Amino acid sequence: MPPLPPPLIATVADALAHFCTHSELELLFMEHGISDPLPTGNKKFRALTGLKVLAEQEEPWPVLGQLITNLMEIEEDPFGLAIDGPSQLETSRKKISNVLAKYGLEYRIGGLIVPVGTPTVSPEQAQTNAGTPTSKPATQAVASLRAFISYSTEARIFARYLKDGLEFFGLAVFLAHEDLKPSQDWQDEIVQKLRGTDVFLPVFTPHFKISDWADQECGMAFAAGKLIVPIKAPVTPYGFLGRYQAMACNPAEPDDSLVPKIIDALANQKSVAGALVDSTINVLAASLSWVNAGRTAELLDGLADQVYFSEAQMRRIIQIEQENSQVGGSFRAAGPLQRLKKKVEDQAGRAA
């Protein structure tokens, strides 16, 4: 097999960046042996870096096949986000298949990338050839809590800051100017994202009210009964959204406590608290350093003071601790995880 061609690396990176959150990217590469920490930056840059590391390995093709298995085979949204339509998924698949074809290759069910004309094998044999188990890893990321940020153009930089902060906690965040492709029918896409979101975060800046779409997005979110967390920046929410408690901030110089305050507010909402815990567990699973594992463990320990942890969530945390050496070997994570286990035991005792 030839080396991984740069056009294929770029195409796969674009698709992974579109469908994955930051934490899911880290977990995906970690699960497939790319242990080097991904650099900071946007998702496309991080995915490119991971794939370039893969390209330097002696046999990169079997790993690449497994990296794109979900993308190429699952019929709906490949990473459980449930926010992208089949048209975008199909487009990504076609682009990858077209690049492979230029090099005389094709993707086969089971994570195989083979020369065109290679005899077909069963999916089970394909899994065996690829050296991976047929069952999903215990640290497989589950669906993340979905958030939609509504803003006017003047707040574009602040909206990016807010998105990065929330994605650090494992949320899947939609930001129109970054997450919509120029060829997409963007009005239909925005409606679809609004329907699929769990949390709606309108950023009330001076130009918000005169935006062509912001008020309409607010109306749709309110009518759909979405959980709404307004940001007073510095305009006070008005209309139907005036009844909600807003979080004040200066978008030019945002306070570092803003995102933790949003997370705290979400933890107190039963409708999304469980998904918030799942999202944070995803971040723990993707930990690539003892420090990051410790920080996330501390966050989970804090969430246990507000949120009920299910047995399945606790089992997953224990599996992650056993399977990810950065978590199990983190001295900073050990204390918070022990406290977390005790709190969950107490929760179960109170519920009995």
Residue type, 312: A
| Domain presence at residue 274 | no
* Residue 178: predicted pLDDT: 53
| Domain presence at residue 275 | no
Total Cβ atoms within 10 A of residue 95: 17
Residue range of the domain that includes 100: 6-130
Residue type, 270: K
- Report phi then psi at 202, rounded to 5: -85, 135
Note whether 191 and 239 are same-domain residues. yes
Q: What is the CATH number of the domain that holds 231?
A: 3.40.50.10140
Note whether 14 and 74 are same-domain residues. yes
| Domain presence at residue 273 | no
Note whether 22 and 66 are same-domain residues. yes
Write down which residue in 207, 237, 267 finishes a domain.
Answer: 267
* Residue 261: predicted pLDDT: 93
Note whether 310 and 347 are same-domain residues. yes
CA distance readout (Å), 192 to 35, 61, 84, 86, 176: 35, 35, 8, 12, 12
* Residue 177: predicted pLDDT: 61
What's the CA gap between 339 and 317, in Å, rounded?
13
What's the CA gap between 68 and 260, in Å, rounded?
33
Note whether 263 and 295 are same-domain residues. no
Note whether 52 and 126 are same-domain residues. yes
Do 274 and 310 meet the contact criterion of CB atoms below 8 Å apart? yes
Write down which residue in 95, 130, 165 finishes a domain.
Answer: 130
| Domain presence at residue 228 | yes
* Residue 278: predicted pLDDT: 93
Note whether 262 and 307 are same-domain residues. no
* Residue 330: predicted pLDDT: 85
**pLDDT (tens digit, 9 = 90+) per residue, 13-63?**
999 998 888 887 887 887 777 766 788 888 999 999 999 999 988 888 988
Total Cβ atoms within 10 A of residue 1: 12
| Domain presence at residue 99 | yes
The whole model's pTM is what? 0.60
Note whether 217 and 301 are same-domain residues. no
* Residue 200: predicted pLDDT: 96
Note whether 117 and 159 are same-domain residues. no
| Domain presence at residue 282 | no
Note whether 209 and 112 are same-domain residues. no
* Residue 141: predicted pLDDT: 57
Write down which residue in 99, 130, 161 finishes a domain.
Answer: 130
Q: Is the dihedral of CA 325, 327, 328, 331 positive or negative?
A: positive
Q: What is the dihedral of CA 196, 199, 204, 207, to 10 degrees?
A: -10
Label residue 227 left, alpha or beta by phi (over 0 means left) and psi (-120 to 50 means alpha): beta
Averaged in consecutive runs of 10 residues, what is the pLDDT profile of the chain (352 residues)? 89 90 81 74 90 88 85 57 57 92 87 77 42 42 85 90 87 73 65 92 93 89 95 94 93 88 94 94 84 87 93 94 88 93 90 69
Note whether 15 and 116 are same-domain residues. yes
**Count of domains for the chain:** 3
Cβ neighbours of residue 46 under 8 Å, at least 6 residues apart?
A: 17, 22, 25, 26, 38, 39, 40
Note whether 150 and 223 are same-domain residues. yes
What's the CA gap between 69 and 139, in Å, rounded?
16
* Residue 40: predicted pLDDT: 83
| Domain presence at residue 230 | yes
**pLDDT (tens digit, 9 = 90+) per residue, 68-103?**
887 887 654 434 444 444 567 788 899 999 999 999
| Domain presence at residue 121 | yes
